[in-house]
Protein backbone atom coordinates (compact mmCIF):
# COMPACT_ATOMS: atom_id res chain seq x y z
CA UNK A 1 0.00 0.00 0.00
CA UNK A 2 1.14 3.50 -0.80
CA UNK A 3 -0.01 6.77 0.76
CA UNK A 4 -1.57 9.59 -1.26
CA UNK A 5 -2.92 13.07 -0.86
CA UNK A 6 -5.88 13.91 -3.08
CA UNK A 7 -5.95 17.67 -3.53
CA UNK A 8 -9.35 18.89 -4.72
CA UNK A 9 -9.63 22.36 -6.28
CA UNK A 10 -12.99 23.94 -6.95
CA UNK A 11 -13.46 25.20 -10.50
CA UNK A 12 -17.03 26.49 -10.10
CA UNK A 13 -18.83 28.87 -7.73
CA UNK A 14 -19.49 27.56 -4.22
CA UNK A 15 -23.23 27.38 -4.93
CA UNK A 16 -22.53 24.72 -7.57
CA UNK A 17 -20.15 22.90 -5.21
CA UNK A 18 -22.69 22.95 -2.37
CA UNK A 19 -25.35 21.47 -4.68
CA UNK A 20 -23.19 18.32 -4.92
CA UNK A 21 -21.99 18.26 -1.29
CA UNK A 22 -24.27 15.45 -0.08
CA UNK A 23 -23.11 13.17 -2.91
CA UNK A 24 -19.47 14.13 -2.29
CA UNK A 25 -19.73 13.30 1.43
CA UNK A 26 -21.37 9.96 0.61
CA UNK A 27 -18.43 9.23 -1.74
CA UNK A 28 -15.96 10.12 1.03
CA UNK A 29 -17.71 7.94 3.62
CA UNK A 30 -18.05 5.02 1.21
CA UNK A 31 -14.33 5.08 0.48
CA UNK A 32 -13.57 5.33 4.20
CA UNK A 33 -15.66 2.21 4.83
CA UNK A 34 -13.80 0.48 1.98
CA UNK A 35 -10.48 1.30 3.68
CA UNK A 36 -9.23 3.74 1.05
CA UNK A 37 -9.68 7.11 2.81
CA UNK A 38 -8.30 7.96 6.24
CA UNK A 39 -9.11 11.65 6.66
CA UNK A 40 -10.45 14.67 4.78
CA UNK A 41 -11.26 18.31 5.20
CA UNK A 42 -11.69 21.69 3.56
CA UNK A 43 -8.84 23.92 2.49
CA UNK A 44 -8.70 27.34 4.14
CA UNK A 45 -9.69 29.55 2.45
CA UNK A 46 -12.49 27.39 1.03
CA UNK A 47 -11.00 26.66 -2.39
CA UNK A 48 -11.26 22.88 -2.26
CA UNK A 49 -10.30 20.03 0.02
CA UNK A 50 -7.71 17.42 0.95
CA UNK A 51 -8.22 13.67 1.27
CA UNK A 52 -5.66 11.32 2.86
CA UNK A 53 -5.78 8.00 1.03
CA UNK A 54 -4.00 4.70 0.58
CA UNK A 55 -4.00 2.45 -2.45
CA UNK A 56 -2.07 -0.13 -4.37
CA UNK A 57 -0.78 2.40 -6.90
CA UNK A 58 -1.32 5.93 -8.21
CA UNK A 59 -3.59 4.73 -11.01
CA UNK A 60 -6.05 3.10 -8.61
CA UNK A 61 -6.23 6.24 -6.46
CA UNK A 62 -6.61 8.41 -9.57
CA UNK A 63 -9.54 6.17 -10.56
CA UNK A 64 -11.11 6.74 -7.12
CA UNK A 65 -10.59 10.51 -7.43
CA UNK A 66 -12.22 10.51 -10.86
CA UNK A 67 -15.40 9.13 -9.24
CA UNK A 68 -15.76 12.11 -6.89
CA UNK A 69 -19.18 13.66 -7.62
CA UNK A 70 -17.46 17.07 -7.65
CA UNK A 71 -15.20 15.89 -10.50
CA UNK A 72 -18.00 14.11 -12.36
CA UNK A 73 -20.21 17.18 -11.92
CA UNK A 74 -17.54 19.48 -13.34
CA UNK A 75 -17.21 21.67 -10.24
CA UNK A 76 -13.72 20.53 -9.19
CA UNK A 77 -10.44 19.00 -10.32
CA UNK A 78 -8.51 16.41 -8.31
CA UNK A 79 -4.74 16.04 -8.19
CA UNK A 80 -3.31 12.81 -6.76
CA UNK A 81 0.04 13.20 -5.00
CA UNK A 82 1.96 10.12 -3.87
CA UNK A 83 3.41 10.63 -0.41
CA UNK A 84 6.14 8.61 1.35
CA UNK A 85 5.81 9.52 5.03
CA UNK A 86 9.07 9.49 6.98
CA UNK A 87 7.36 9.81 10.35
CA UNK A 88 3.78 9.36 11.54
CA UNK A 89 2.21 10.09 14.91
CA UNK A 90 0.75 7.18 16.87
CA UNK A 91 -2.52 6.06 15.34
CA UNK A 92 -1.61 7.03 11.77
CA UNK A 93 0.24 3.83 10.90
CA UNK A 94 -2.38 2.96 8.25
CA UNK A 95 -0.90 5.74 6.10
CA UNK A 96 2.53 4.13 5.92
CA UNK A 97 3.20 2.96 2.38
Residue 17 CB: number of other CB atoms within 10 A?
A: 20
pLDDT given for residue 86 in this prediction: 87
At 17-55, the pLDDT tens digits run 999 999 999 999 999 999 999 999 999 999 999 999 999
Structural contact between residues 68 and 26, judged by C-beta atoms closer than 8 angstroms: no
Structural contact between residues 53 and 4, judged by C-beta atoms closer than 8 angstroms: yes
pLDDT given for residue 1 in this prediction: 83
At 51-89, the pLDDT tens digits run 999 999 999 999 999 999 999 999 999 999 999 988 888
- Strand arrangement, sheet containing 2-10: 37-42, 48-55, 2-10, 76-83
Confidence of residue 97 (pLDDT cuts 50, 70, 90): low
First to last CA, the chain: 5
Amino acid sequence: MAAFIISIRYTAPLEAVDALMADHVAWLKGNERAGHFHGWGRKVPREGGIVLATGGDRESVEALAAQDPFVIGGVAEAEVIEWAPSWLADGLERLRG
